Structure 1
């Protein structure tokens, strides 16, 4: 049996899903669309296992976002792979009048249904007295009071699910056929629909339902015209009828003591956290905490992961015989795997904080505060969190855009988030700034190098805002951007839910994105290791001659040989090939190689520079890299390669360029298309090239 959980946002539906399924769950996407599909299994008291599917949160079966459209699609199409045998509608017991609107709509689809009154413990605290038996009698369904946060009555709900197949169908909440009798009858007959309410929903929503053929959709449209159907009038009539029914049910089954919302703990906290001044001050303080955590807390575990892979590399070189296989395993696959797993601490910490902010109810306040500002540049209040996370890493931040309901707002956020300077750009910035910016202070306080670094971060942020504004004008969609928001009451975070979220996000990243990163790392290793056979053999023979054997140590010969082999590898040849295109930016072929190799990850720039300039242990001896780079001369002009003009040109290039395979991989995964990653790669490369060209030509 397949059981679907349906409910408004912030009713605790996902918490109930976690309580029912635990670790027996998986996250995917609905076919052809980037909306989370969470499924899992649970064991009922009778010993049977049932499949649980957590449908996206929605306020009504008249969708205003892609998430809500998925719910409509799944529930009205019996042939859909996710169509349920039983629905559990989860409602907030402290806000029944609004939540029951969705319940009455779902009930009229005539799929077996159970009503779960979540947050029953909170309702008792607020002295809301619910007569469960009376409500069950009025609705004609099983009603189960639960608290998903406290695992209260979860076993009772499982028993209700087990009993559901033997219980008669629920009562109809309103007379749907009276809304548009002739039209409903014709749609049922012509499209072969059994239920009145499904026919009415098709009349309203046939344009967005993928399972209807174009011919069926056009036929429904013609029936609407023939019957002079007025959708807004029909929906208004239906909603009024539903609320009349809900009011009758609540009058007979609920007794509520009066309360003043402003005097509740939530109301008192919101006086500060949603204040037009103090709200932003509080938000900035929380951001500071998150930044410190992402950079400071992740540093130690990331160091451990890097040390672990360095140890594995050392062990491998001791026990695996030298040769192509050893190089492939250690320099290709192991290095690629290390590049994937080193992101885990940042991803876990970022999503841990997001889960805490959501669980406590504060995330809704952030989006409320920021929405008005963000809309001016084509974004959404919910775009704030991914863009903030982009300062650590674009990969988890792009995954975090799933909270944005509007397709257009979500796409724009995905497209501009990589412009925010991430932690991977920091080694590039610090190395280049140390080459050309003096370590002096102005006004006796501000360090010039620090100001230059801050300037690079500001440039990335400004770039993201400008591009978002342009995309707002360019990207067209019929979908309206709604900002429907409920401010839930504040609650303590559920640590089990927080850690489960962290676990799921890390697992998704490693298994889905990791495969692409490792594959591309192997490709780059092959291109940087091999070259035309004649050239490689000639280089090997050259460094075995008496001149080199007598004048250089074996270690020095190995470094010189590796540098020359890199120059003559396929990547080196590519660097020489692209040199004419990057010369106007102030770059030579060596920087060209670094641009290519650092496509795997921006941090690779430093290591590539070290290899090219034959420097030993670049991570531990960056001064040697700087000395070699400072003394390097242009082979054509004889002038220094690294000047203020070329260094800032290179930094600007890295600020705007898409130098990260993992970001491309995650954008492909989140959009389920190669169209958007290609557009993103193209516009960011063009922006990087022309910005870099402008900077070099102005400063040189």
Structure 2
């Protein structure tokens, strides 16, 4: 790939790739690195760090780091603050020897603000002028020589979509190594006394670095508390007015950038006419038609995740079921066989089975980003979402949560504001996912007659729709509560550049899908597998020799001796489950769940459903010795179940509706908790999420049971 390959050289050079959101920076990074890129985290924060080891033509080793998109060095989100941390901390191992600034030729004036700020930090800079082909189509020609002379940095026309100019870009990177860029704008008039004092106290040489330290010292991760206190004293001593000076500086920069861009751009007559993007936006961003189109697209995405993923997921399920059956037949009975066939293989299957949904969701999101539509979707839904403490991008996550919360939580990475992203992550599992459908099917069929409403609509279908709406109400209500409780110093501004529409870059889409799937399998998969094995242990073992004794008692009982082998095995499994650690747990929590109308058997179902909600049907089949997960047989069996003490039916309308409401709100998905931990980089949030959703589920189920009893 051009000059790039994995390097064995010992000399390390950092190259940082920066740019505005929608500048095409990701395409350039993918063009340079392909699948060689690594995904980690910047120290002390949850922001992803994409990097790749490369070497230049002379053998010098280089690490290319893709910094998060930012509009300027005055950040409003955690992602943008990472850029500031990297560019100001000269002692950091990530501090760049060269910065490649990718700008969109169709939005040159706005994008040059960031470049001008980086220049004033004195870091060597190369300007990658991207999307020149789109500018040409719009009747705009860029005078490259004039722009390069005015900015006093190397300028290279590139195309991240085709790879054009990438080799020349790397040549320029090598040319400017260790050659500090010249000052773009004098800063003395802004805050000269503060700049000089900060330079002396912090031992920095660059004026703009000193000014940015004065602006942002309280949120820079690399500063010590003593250094922050020193900077606080300096700014207070000189009555440093940060906001006013930021605005003043930005205006001064644009006063120099604007006339420069006007001279650098040569516009034809066609440039004065509405572009294809302008014409399309009149419909796609229209208050009515745009909203209808947006929800139609979301509906298609939801249907795709729900329907298209069904076949590969069923295939994966069949493969892992066949694997379990195969090893059951070839391995001798014992702990190893049981662990492999009932713990490890199902655990791995529980990870792999979500890959189709993750791939489809992120494929759609990447395509919508590539064509430029995602920015419009965010724009359309932002006002509504903000009322609940969310963000326009939250709509995509919440809607896709109706298929599966796992890819939905992962998709919140597109939300730049940390508070809004955290709220979205926290409430997304309230949306009823496809895993709840088996539970809804069994319990709704039990409590709701199979009749038509108004002769057209299925009554059972309307109840299921009501359960989905109840989940949405729970999500938005919880988001509103979190908005009031969760306090951060991070301001929430809606800054969204609407990029031009363009054909998608399929390579970028495939790389995005690969990254998300790999992250889920490697990171969340480890946790899921461990919890699967733990649940297997709880359901397979009991204290002492209780499990063996139960098996012997059933086999010796005259009433059961004539049963067919399959029925006898099912009965033994049911009795063993009762005395297992899982059964003991079910009986231990029975006093807590009895007010909801549940017995210890339902307690076991609640426990095993933690692995995945759809396990409920299989657990009930095992408990009642059915040996099958066919819904009709489960429904028939639980209809006849009676309390041995009172003789009353265990399942009635009140109990079934209580269970339904519990499953609407309860966090019973270890996969989702594992992904939440992965996304927040902390067990505190998934633990709080589990406690909160369980509390909401319990209280709602209690209320439902008492109302219907």
> TM-score, structure 1 length as denominator?
0.97
> 1:140 maps to what in 2?
152
* Counterparts of residues 134-213 of structure 1 (less than 5 Å): 134-165=146-177, 168-213=179-224
Corresponding position: 1:680 with 2:692: no
1:653 aligned to which of 636, 655, 662 = 662
Task: Give the C-alpha shift of residue 142 in structure 1.
Answer: 1.3
SS in 2 for 1:322: coil
Task: Give the C-alpha shift of residue 43 in structure 1.
Answer: 4.8
| Structure-2 separation of matches of 1:577 and 1:357 | 50
> 1:698 maps to what in 2?
707
Runs of 4+ in 1 over 6 A off after TM superposition: none
Moved more, 438-447 or 232-241: 232-241
| Structure-2 separation of matches of 1:249 and 1:201 | 25
> 1:405 maps to what in 2?
416
Moved more, 37-46 or 140-149: 37-46
After superposition, give the CA deviation of every residue in 1:583-617 in whole Å (9 maximum; x if it has no partner). 11111111100000110111111110111111123
Instruction: Tell me if structure 2 keeps the 8 A contact 1:10–1:488.
Output: yes
> 1:508 maps to what in 2?
519
Instruction: Tell me if structure 1 keeps the 8 A contact 2:23–2:102.
Output: yes
> 1:63 maps to what in 2?
75
SS in 2 for 1:206: helix
| Structure-2 separation of matches of 1:126 and 1:403 | 29
> 1:350 maps to what in 2?
361
SS in 1 for 2:219: coil
| Structure-1 separation of matches of 2:650 and 2:168 | 73
| Structure-2 separation of matches of 1:346 and 1:236 | 45
SS in 2 for 1:22: helix
1:51 aligned to which of 59, 63, 77 = 63
Task: Give the C-alpha shift of residue 321 in structure 1.
Answer: 1.8
SS in 2 for 1:83: coil
SS in 1 for 2:512: helix
* Counterparts of residues 454-533 of structure 1 (less than 5 Å): 454-533=465-544
Total equivalences in the alignment: 697
Change (3 A) 1:236 1:474: closer
Corresponding position: 1:611 with 2:631: no
Task: Give the C-alpha shift of residue 666 in structure 1.
Answer: 1.1
| Structure-1 separation of matches of 2:239 and 2:700 | 57
Instruction: Tell me if structure 1 keeps the 8 A contact 2:28–2:160.
Output: yes
After superposition, give the CA deviation of every residue in 1:30-61 in whole Å (9 maximum; x if it has no partner). 22222121112345444555221110111110
| Structure-2 separation of matches of 1:696 and 1:679 | 25
Task: Give the C-alpha shift of residue 177 in structure 1.
Answer: 3.0
Structure 1 portions without partners, runs of 5+: none
Task: Give the C-alpha shift of residue 187 in structure 1.
Answer: 0.7
After superposition, give the CA deviation of every residue in 1:362-413 in whole Å (9 maximum; x if it has no partner). 1111111111111112211111010011001111111111111111111111
SS in 1 for 2:393: helix
> 2:342 maps to what in 1?
331
2:133 aligned to which of 121, 126, 134 = 121
> 2:289 maps to what in 1?
278
* Counterparts of residues 264-413 of structure 1 (less than 5 Å): 264-413=275-424
1:420 aligned to which of 420, 424, 431 = 431
SS in 2 for 1:52: strand
* Counterparts of residues 523-602 of structure 1 (less than 5 Å): 523-545=534-556, 547=558, 550-602=561-613
| Structure-2 separation of matches of 1:630 and 1:46 | 77
Instruction: Tell me if structure 1 keeps the 8 A contact 2:531–2:611.
Output: yes
Instruction: Tell me if structure 1 keeps the 8 A contact 2:143–2:265.
Output: yes
| Structure-2 separation of matches of 1:630 and 1:362 | 51
Change (3 A) 1:445 1:261: farther
After superposition, give the CA deviation of every residue in 1:524-558 in whole Å (9 maximum; x if it has no partner). 10010000123223212213326256422332221
| Structure-1 separation of matches of 2:146 and 2:479 | 53
Structure 2 portions without partners, runs of 5+: 1-12
1:237 aligned to which of 248, 268, 280 = 248
Instruction: Tell me if structure 2 keeps the 8 A contact 1:26–1:40.
Output: yes
Instruction: Tell me if structure 2 keeps the 8 A contact 1:8–1:91.
Output: yes
| Structure-1 separation of matches of 2:706 and 2:427 | 26
Change (3 A) 1:549 1:165: same
SS in 2 for 1:152: coil
Corresponding position: 1:630 with 2:639: yes
* Counterparts of residues 70-149 of structure 1 (less than 5 Å): 70-149=82-161
Instruction: Tell me if structure 1 keeps the 8 A contact 2:325–2:341.
Output: no
Task: Give the C-alpha shift of residue 675 in structure 1.
Answer: 1.8
SS in 1 for 2:462: helix
Instruction: Tell me if structure 1 keeps the 8 A contact 2:366–2:509.
Output: yes
> 2:37 maps to what in 1?
25
Task: Give the C-alpha shift of residue 233 in structure 1.
Answer: 3.5
> TM-score, structure 2 length as denominator?
0.96
CA RMSD of aligned residues (A): 1.6
